[in-house]
Amino acid sequence: MFLLILLGTVALGLAGLVILVRRRSLSGFENGFLLTLALVLAGTGVLSAALVGVWLYLDASTELVQGAVTDLAHNAQLIEATALRDINMTVDQMTRVAAGIGPDVQQRAVRDIEIVLRTFQRVDPMLLELDVVDAEGRPLLATSRRERRPAPGRVAVAFALEGKRFVSDPTPVPGFDKSLFVIAVPVPDAQGRPIGALAALYDQLDWFEDIAKAMTFGKTGYAVLADGDGRALAHPDVKRLGEDLSAYAAVREARQERSGWIVERNRAGVRRLFVYQPVKNPATVSPRPWLLVAEMDEKEALT
């Protein structure tokens, strides 16, 4: 707005100067030609200075925005690499545990299986629940208070019983107040054939929330991780977890797997700079990219 006012004022002044010169309004004064020449030179100087000032301002603003875009891209790469590594490590660990309990599953030695699974949970507290099902998909053991409920993720269990690993998108689970990953791996016999499945409810979003709280900058800036539908998976304000952000242009662009930045008003009517970046989703079936969006008050971003 300031730039428009400045350019408008300069343009009006220049237009007035042109009219003054064309009508030779100063010709009646002594040294009128010199006065006209001086005014033309002064007007040209003011216009040049204004244009240079505007160019410098826009150039500096662009540099600030590009810096924010670069920082966000690095953060997105860090989150993507860490999330994928963490998920893959957890799946590998579950695969080793599943191979170790294979003989106990065949013998239905529930007590021995439980000891192994609870030890595994103590090693990785983000494993909120571990379930074992037999080859028919019937529950054999669960490590939480959900023992009498079906194992989570029928699709996940079906994949595991076919000898395949499975990772879900974050999924709402009855009995828990947050969305969780469902991970499943086959339990093999001595010949490597699946005789059951080991499934887990995994709370990696807790880690994402810690990352989101750390990803703040300046006085008004923060970052949000959203799923492919634009719902917040991780947000510095836990009250906004699950909030639908899909109405924002930045989120819509990121859902199209584009990276960039845009200035728009948030729901409070404040003009904010939004920088957006898609992030790879580790889900097994039809993974849609997650969205990483950083935002900051426009005034702060350009100072």
- Consecutive 10-residue runs of the chain (303 residues): their mean pLDDT? 48 48 47 43 49 48 64 66 81 96 93 94 92 92 67 86 93 80 95 95 78 72 87 84 91 92 88 87 89 84 69
Q: State which of 150, 172, 202 marks the end of a domain.
A: 202
Is 74 within the bounds of a domain? yes
User: Is residue 164 domain-shared with residue 240, that is, in the same domain?
Assistant: no
The reported pLDDT for the residue numbered 171 is 81
Rounded CA-CA distance 157/184 in Å is: 6
The reported pLDDT for the residue numbered 67 is 67
Instruction: Indicate the Cα dihedral angle 185, 187, 193, 196, nearest 10°.
Output: -100
CA-to-CA dists, residue 154 to 121, 191, 268, 282, 296, angstroms: 22, 25, 41, 18, 42
Is 53 within the bounds of a domain? no
Is 181 within the bounds of a domain? yes
User: Is residue 176 domain-shared with residue 229, that is, in the same domain?
Assistant: no
CA-to-CA dists, residue 195 to 188, 189, 198, 251, 286, angstroms: 6, 6, 10, 43, 27
User: Is residue 217 domain-shared with residue 244, that is, in the same domain?
Assistant: yes
Domain range spanning residue 251? Answer: 58-84+206-301
The reported pLDDT for the residue numbered 121 is 93
User: Is residue 256 domain-shared with residue 290, that is, in the same domain?
Assistant: yes
User: Is residue 190 domain-shared with residue 211, that is, in the same domain?
Assistant: no
User: Is residue 295 domain-shared with residue 229, that is, in the same domain?
Assistant: yes
Task: Give the count of domains, the chain.
Answer: 2
Close Cβ partners of 75 (under 8 Å, ≥ 6 residues apart): 215, 223, 292, 294
CATH number at residue 172: 3.30.450.20
Is 46 within the bounds of a domain? no
User: Is residue 70 domain-shared with residue 163, that is, in the same domain?
Assistant: no
User: Is residue 110 domain-shared with residue 179, that is, in the same domain?
Assistant: yes
Longest CA pairwise span in the chain (Å): 115
pTM exceeding the 0.85 threshold for the entire prediction: no
User: Is residue 188 domain-shared with residue 268, that is, in the same domain?
Assistant: no
At CA 260, angle to CA 213 and CA 73, rounded to 5? 50
CA-to-CA dists, residue 22 to 18, 29, 32, 43, 93, angstroms: 6, 15, 13, 15, 85
Rounded CA-CA distance 114/151 in Å is: 15
**Bridge partners, 276 (sequence order):** 260, 293
Of 185, 202, 198, residue with least CA distance to 116:
198
Q: State which of 178, 202, 226 marks the end of a domain.
A: 202
User: Is residue 192 domain-shared with residue 211, that is, in the same domain?
Assistant: no
Count of beta carbons in the 10 Å neighbourhood of residue 228: 18
Rounded CA-CA distance 256/246 in Å is: 12
